[in-house]
Structure 1
Amino acid sequence: MRDPEHWSLSAMWWHVYPLGFTGAQIRDRDDPEGEPIVHRLPRLESWLDHVVELGLNGIALGPVFESTTHGYDTTDHFRIDPRLGDDADFDRLIAAAHERGIRVLLDGVFNHVGREHPAFRAALADPGSDEAALFQLGAGGDAEVFEGHEALVALDHGGDAAAELVTRVMLHWLDRGIDGWRLDAAYSVPSEFWARVLPAVREQHADAWFLGEVIHGEYAEIVESSTMDAVTQYELWQGIWHSLAERNLFELEHAIGRHNALLATFVPYTFLGNHDVTRIATSVGRDLVPHALAVLCTVAGIPSVYAGDELGLEAVKEERWGGDDAIRPEFPERPTPADELDDATRSTLDLHRTLIAIRRRHPWLTRAHTDVVVVENGTIVLRTATADAAIVTALNVTDAAVRLPVADATQLLAGDGELAGDRVALPPHGWATLSS
């Protein structure tokens, strides 16, 4: 468990997929190594004030290293993808972020590399080469791949070569100023590998934070055995969106119980969307986005907002080639001024600013347990509290008006409820966040 004063426990992230965000072409490239540099990273700089105005203080970047297509088929961990820019562009982005008090997290794709990676090509050419030690090559030269994706060649995490490579990559970019790493597909890498690499990196960067992408499994055990600081809380994500979409808030109650249990070991990274899933506004409908965000901002965790969710973007993740394009769109050169936004977009943006501000004013929420006061299929009341303070969130996903108990809450902070004594009146599809 990180020290309570560690910067990560006050971090709230804006998650960005840079290749899509900046309009880089993500389809196959004939000659990635010879492609001219296009300086697209500065587009991200022009959105940093937007991040601050949201109330967030971190940007979690998707892949930025040279790759063949979508960024997860890396060909050079030490080079910025020429479709995004160069080292100077990257250095300016880091400096601009830090000037605003924004931390920067990089996406470390350390489970696999692209088939065009020079080390893999060298290994195929000479199975006795030093580079071959990075991979698991069969007798016929076949290589282990990631989840059936032939373009993604798995590293051999049982040997020294992969551990040495990953350690060097992590240190290189931490030395350049980043604040931590998201470990892509961490669930596919043995915990023993992380337990070997991460302590070695912390010897030189004790303040760095390491987040593992983990979808299924026993999160607490994985954190303890790997020495990662946190993992992605997919169970809570599923519990939030699916319970709202299916009008079954007992599912949310179950997810929160599981979530509470993790806090004895670590503080999870919580989210409503990312570059791999259908947009939250599409999953639950725009009228229930406030309900989902209210839960995210009032239960324990290190919250993240996927770029565009604060604007109410809608898109479906599809299981096909190019099926991620809709959820990874290009953004304009700079944010649209608020007075030029349509009413629905401005309302969603204001909602995010309001609920994130509530989270900021109550930093103890990061590690506090949540109790379920009452729950039915279509209504639920959550109370997240310490001995000295409490935040209550009441949700109604039914088509009828309801009156729900608010425990000891006495002040309406946000939402469309009306507080009367020990009850809050909610309209159909209404919600409220309150404090004691």
Structure 2
Amino acid sequence: MRSLLDPNELMCEDDPGNLTLSMDDSQDSCRLAAALAEYDDQQNSSDPSCNKEFPFGEAAGHIIKSVKDMIRSDAFNGTTKDKITINWEREKLTILCSKEKHHALMSARDQALLRGRVSSMDLVLMASKKFPLTGVVEARRNADSAHYGRCPAVHVCLAWLCHAAQCSISSVVPGGEVFPRAERYIHDRLEQATLPEVDENDRIELAIFQLYRVLDVLSVCDLRSLTPVDRSILIFAICRLVLDRNTCCGVQYRSSLAIENIMNASALTKHATLTEFSSIFPLISDDLVNLQLCHEIIRLSNVDPTCCLSLFSSTLIHISERAECEPSNLSEMSMEEVVDAHLGVVVDVIDNVLDLFEDNSKYKCVVMIMFDASLHPSLCSLISEMRNQQLTSMFHELKNELRKNRDTDSFLIDQLLRSLCDRYKIQFLGHPEMLAEQRLFQESV
């Protein structure tokens, strides 16, 4: 298994955001053809020790036999002609290495070129891959500082991220936001023109390598002293960097861990952080596929199950420009009321969003995928009977609308919707005891 710590290998990884949905998987087809060929060879074998009826075992034999029968039938001839492909290409941002030049410590001798006050983390981020850090780590471990273990300020975290990515602060924060202290931190402490200049061909690899370091720090450090607004800005910046054309699955994995730590830094302000981040989430990118990638990375984090639903609700409001539907006073609501409020937005707005994407099948698919990811199984026990009826009615209306269009793109969207409906029904109806307990609790209050 390849190590995730080697950026040379990760730079060659395919971008998970660039996907193709197809009814025909060539690799599976090759494996199936090989299995069937082996099955035929053993069927024709004269070896008496070979079980000709089920050479792979009874269970596998039944499966292969049913597949062969299906391939020989007319049903297979109809399905092989039906191939549906959606272009999942996303708008990749150009953020990493957008600064004209970058300087770094190339050898131990270059430390004599440093000027001003430099912390151990600053020194790490100014180092190239060749620079030995053993002495820095040992000195840090032996240090007895009053600042040891303190939470870094948000301007310091942003400065670390942007210096590692070799980009400006403005390229990773919402438009109109300014962080002069972060820019001053980079200028005064991290960008030192007296150091050797990094070769242009080595800059991307170094940026990925340094991003690993910063994200690893953000995934473990104590961030409780940051305000909800600060934490939402930090998550926003990480999501922007994830969307760069040169990032890889290693950056996405570490971003997921960092977002988890940032979001869960304080139980007292976690809900407020989610509310703040939801309000700026749609501003991360104008491309819905990019938002879906960020949505998926956050889903893979161990965050509150209402998080993805809140982000999806905010995205629908932003696309439809239906600001009047935005829930208010979320901080004063219980978990059940928050879930109900966001699902109310979905019921009211999703029709308008799908109408806006009438000629864009890719975005329709993205909406369905985000909706599917937002309905976390644990939320089903929090959905009221009335909201359940509204969701069921909405699913039925969407199915009828899609049946009017018989093109292949509508067929794929219909399949995504059917899968979502089936999962929701199974999970909602699969918890009758939870619904009964919820009703008893509501009656007793």
The alignment's TM-score, normalised by the length of structure 1, stands at 0.25
- Higher relative strand content: 1
Larger Rg computed on CA atoms: 2
The alignment's TM-score, normalised by the length of structure 2, stands at 0.25
Q: Which has the higher contact order (CA 8 A, sep 6+)?
A: 2
